[in-house]
Amino acid sequence: MRPATSPPRTAMRPDGSRLIKFYFGEELPFVSHGRGVFVYDTDGRRYLDGCSGAVTANLGHADPQILRTMSEQAERITFAHRGSFHSEQSERLADRLGGMTGYPYVFLCNSGSEAVETALRLTLQYWRERGEPERSRFVSHAVSYHGATLGGLSLSGHPQRRWVAEALLHGFNELTPPYAYRFAEGRDDDEFTAFLIERAARVLDAHGPTLAGVVVEPVGGAAGGAITPPDGYLPALAALCRERGVPLIADEIMTGMGRTGTMLAAQHWDVHPDMVVLGKGMGAGYAPVSAVLVGEHFVDTIAAGTAAVTNGHTYGGNPLGSAVALAVLEAVESRDLVTNAAARGKQLRAGLEELAERQEVIGEVRGLGLLQGLELVADRATRSPGDPVGSLTRAVVLAARDQGLLVYPATGGINDAVLIAPPLTTTPEEIDLLLELLDAALTALDRNAGSAA
């Protein structure tokens, strides 16, 4: 018997590390530092961050203005629990967010997943305060991603991320996705929109008095890769929700904060959801911070009832995260980065479409602003993904990394896709370099595939 003081026997670690990683044994470079749109590893190699990390680093890396704000705030106070104190930083952030987006109320969280959970809980509390506790059912798209927590995963149509927790999840993802490449089946945009809305009406009506809300990504992100709906879809879905008296909740964790060339992606279609969930670009990678933008009727109902929100997170609304997010918003506005995202997005889109004419692995280019997606196919005629699904995505991510370019995998289990989403600060010359590196990566991939054959 081992003495009680002996350390427990350690399981074999394939890469010699105690840290649990996404893929056991995968060898990745160690990051050293970042400057602007570039990231450097400890061997001195440079990578163009063509996906803003995880579509997060909207201002690029080591932005001097944000670093000054972090330092100044850290010298004052980094944490104060909102059960004990209000903070000037969180008040100012809420005012700035509301003014930029047109929402009267803001609830601050730490991560996108937490913000999605908060939106669900605020909606459930709203119905209970109204005396309709039976309204507890949400619906979402069958191809979607809304976070790693159980509520977010219940909304997510993403088999690869759901499978471990499936026994604990609800089947909320019932809406046919507005994903023309795989679901339109020859219909034009108007016909496809009518088809989607007719199906959505049937789903909403089937749940009737138990329906609490509809949660959608205006532009799909991690599941599918910048799935962009036909122009009539989101307005028609919003009208459907109004007719049935249920809230429309927009998950703009990836698309918000100027990423698509408007402050919120829903603004492309003049849609004003009842709630909007923000994250990622709100802290731009400098601090974990997220938010829920909340319509007046939710707060008025709760204020007239219990007058208390039964939800919260330890770090939510902390002074450091709030100060950083406020500085990010100031940078977005003062540098006119929403306009830059729209302009650079057009340049990027044109370059990607030119690439698609030459690179057979690209089945479709789609997206808005600086959130562009490439559907990857083994065969254009049949639109077949890789075998197994996801293998093409991984091959492109690795080929791009070999060329010094970072792109984001976005396969939802039914397709292969990557996201191209550089920081909103990206210059025309950096877009040209991104396209050059991507072209080299796809050419090398094709050459290697030909050699293997």
Q: Average pLDDT of 202-212?
A: 97
Q: What is the pLDDT of residues 62-74, one digit of tens each?
A: 999 999 999 999 9
Q: What is the pLDDT of residues 360-403, one digit of tens each?
A: 999 999 999 999 999 999 999 999 999 999 999 999 999 999 99
Query: In the prediction, which pLDDT does 176 show?
Result: 98
Q: Average pLDDT of 155-161?
A: 87
Residues above pLDDT 90, as percent of the chain:
86
Q: Which band of pLDDT confidence, cut at 50, 70 and 90, is reported for residue 450? A: low
Q: What is the pLDDT of residues 222-264, one digit of tens each?
A: 999 999 999 999 999 999 999 999 999 999 999 999 999 999 9
3-state SS record for the chain: CCCCCCCCCCCCCCCCCCCCCCCCCCCCCCEEEEEECEEEECCCCEEEECCHHHHCCCCCECCHHHHHHHHHHHHHCCCCCCCCCCCHHHHHHHHHHHHHHCCCEEEEECCHHHHHHHHHHHHHHHHHHCCCCCCCEEEEECCCCCCCCHHHHHHCCCHHHHHHHHHHCCCCEEECCCCHHHHCCCCCHHHHHHHHHHHHHHHHHHHHHHEEEEEECCCCCCCCCCCCCCCCHHHHHHHHHHHHCCCEEEECCCCCCCCCCCCCHHHHHCCCCCEEEECHHHCCCCCCCEEEEECHHHHHHHHCCCCCCCCCCCCCCCHHHHHHHHHHHHHHHHCCHHHHHHHHHHHHHHHHHHHHHHCCCEEEEEEECCEEEEEECCECCCCECCCCCCHHHHHHHHHHHHCCEECEECCCCCCEEEEECCCCCCCHHHHHHHHHHHHHHHHHHHHHHHHHC
31-55+336-452 and 64-334: identical CATH topology:
no
Q: Which CATH superfamily is domain 31-55+336-452 in?
A: Aspartate Aminotransferase, domain 1 (3.90.1150.10)
User: Mean pLDDT of all residues in the chain?
Assistant: 94
Query: Under CATH, what is the fold of the domain 64-334?
Result: Aspartate Aminotransferase; domain 2 (3.40.640)
Q: Per-domain residue ranges for the chain?
A: 31-55+336-452, 64-334
Q: Average pLDDT of 104-121?
A: 97
